Structure 1
Amino acid sequence: MTNAPGAADETERVRELDELNALESLLEPDFQAIAISAAHVCRAPIALVNLIAEKRQYVKGRAGIDLTGVNPPVPFCDRAISEREFLEVHDARADPRFRDHPIVTGPPRVRFYAGMPMITRQGNALGTVCVMGPEPDRLDEAQRQALNTLAAHAVTLIELHGRAHQAEEVVRRLHALERLKNQFLSSLNHELRTPLTSIRSYLELVQEGGLDEDTEHRFLRIIERNSDRMLHLINALLLMASLKAQTTTFTPDSVDLSDLARQAVERVASAAELKGLALNLHARDRVRVRADAEQLRNALLQVLDNAIKFTGSGGAVDVVVVAGPPPEVEIHDTGIGVESEDLRRVFEEFYRTQHAKEQAVGGTGIGLAIVEKIMEMHGGTARMEKETHDGVCVHLTLHPSSVLPAPGDPGPSGGS
Structure 2
Amino acid sequence: MMRGPGLNRQITLAMLAVSLGMTLVVLLGSYVFYALVIEYRPELLSGPSDMIPTSTEWVWMASVTIVALVFAVWASARLARRILAPLNSVADSVRRVAHGDLAARAVAGDRSLGETALLVDDFNAMAERLQRMEREMVTWNAAIAHELRTPVTILRGRLQGLAEGVFQPDEKQFRGLLHQVEGLSRLIDDLRMLSMFDSGHLKLELADCDLAGCIRDVAHLLAPELERSGYRLALDLAEGRICCDAARMRQILLALLDNAGRYADPGVISIRTRVLGAQYLLQVEDAGPGIDEELEGKLFLAFHRGEHARAGAVGGSGLGLAVVRAIAEAHGGVASYRRGEHGGAMFEIAWPMPMPGPAVVS
Three-state SS of the structure 2 residue aligned to 1:398 is strand
Offset at residue 233 of structure 1 (A) = 0.9
* 1:363-415 Cα distance to aligned partner (Å, 9 max, x none): 55443333233223323322222336654322111313259xxxxxxxxxxxx
**Is 1:352 paired with 2:308?**
no
- Aligned pairs for 1:11-410 within 5 A: 16-17=1-2, 119-120=5-6, 155-156=111-112, 167-168=123-124, 170-208=126-164, 216-269=170-223, 272-273=226-227, 276-284=229-237, 286-311=239-264, 313-314=265-266, 316-325=268-277, 326-333=279-286, 334-339=288-293, 342-343=296-297, 345-348=298-301, 350=302, 352=304, 355-356=306-307, 362-387=315-340, 390-401=343-354
* 1:160-202 Cα distance to aligned partner (Å, 9 max, x none): 6666566555544444433333232222222222122223333
In 2, Cα distance between the equivalents of 1:338 and 1:371? 19
**CA contact 2:6–2:114 (8 Å) conserved in 1:** no
In 2, Cα distance between the equivalents of 1:222 and 1:265? 25
Instruction: Give 2:26's aligned residue.
Output: none
Structure 1 residues 315 and 358 mapped into 2: Cα distance closer, same or farther (>3 Å)?
Answer: closer
Structure 1 unaligned spans of 5+: 1-15, 21-117, 124-140, 404-416
Offset at residue 269 of structure 1 (A) = 4.2
Bigger strand share: 1
Three-state SS of the structure 1 residue aligned to 2:354 is helix
**CA contact 1:120–1:155 (8 Å) conserved in 2:** no
What is the root-mean-square deviation of aligned Cα atoms in Å?
Answer: 4.4
**CA contact 1:269–1:279 (8 Å) conserved in 2:** yes
In 2, Cα distance between the equivalents of 1:283 and 1:339? 28
In 1, Cα distance between the equivalents of 2:231 and 2:309? 25
When the two structures are aligned, how many residues end up with a matched partner?
Answer: 265
- AA paired with 1:382? A
**CA contact 2:242–2:353 (8 Å) conserved in 1:** no
Larger Rg: 2
- AA paired with 1:377? A
Bigger helix share: 2
In 2, Cα distance between the equivalents of 1:376 and 1:246? 11
* 1:86-105 Cα distance to aligned partner (Å, 9 max, x none): xxxxxxxxxxxxxxxxxxxx
Offset at residue 315 of structure 1 (A) = 5.2
* 1:188-228 Cα distance to aligned partner (Å, 9 max, x none): 22222212222333334445558779xx3222222221111
TM-score by length of 2: 0.57
**CA contact 2:256–2:284 (8 Å) conserved in 1:** yes
* 1:273-312 Cα distance to aligned partner (Å, 9 max, x none): 56x341413223733212221122122223333333333x
Three-state SS of the structure 2 residue aligned to 1:395 is strand
**CA contact 1:184–1:365 (8 Å) conserved in 2:** no
Instruction: Give 1:406's aligned residue.
Output: none
Structure 1 residues 244 and 155 mapped into 2: Cα distance closer, same or farther (>3 Å)?
Answer: closer
Structure 1 residues 265 and 358 mapped into 2: Cα distance closer, same or farther (>3 Å)?
Answer: closer
Offset at residue 257 of structure 1 (A) = 1.6
